[in-house]
Amino acid sequence: MAGAPVRTIRYPMHQEQNAERVGHYLVTPLTQSTEHGLFAAAVSIRRGVYDRIFKFIPRFASDVQATQYALAEGRSMVLQNQLG
């Protein structure tokens, strides 16, 4: 089921996020507050036991915005076969 929420994961220094299964991959958005009060976004894309972590340059005013951005980018990478 593409796009179906799978589980909630808590990372140290990161906000609680929702993971989604997209095809054979588990896409997990990650956020972290910066020293300037903004939020950085990253995404973990896992297949099997291996993860790829992608960090993004844009900063966001809220963790919700950062989460939405990371999840959209992760989905796009998987759906457009950009993982090599």
Model confidence at 3, pLDDT cuts 50, 70, 90, reads: low
pLDDT reading at 11 higher than 80: no
The DSSP-derived string for 26-62 is: EEEEEEEE-TTS-EEEEEEEEETTEEEEEEEEEEESS
Residue carrying the six token digits 């997209």 = 22
Model confidence at 39, pLDDT cuts 50, 70, 90, reads: very high
Who wins on pLDDT, 83 or 59? 59
pTM of the model: 0.78
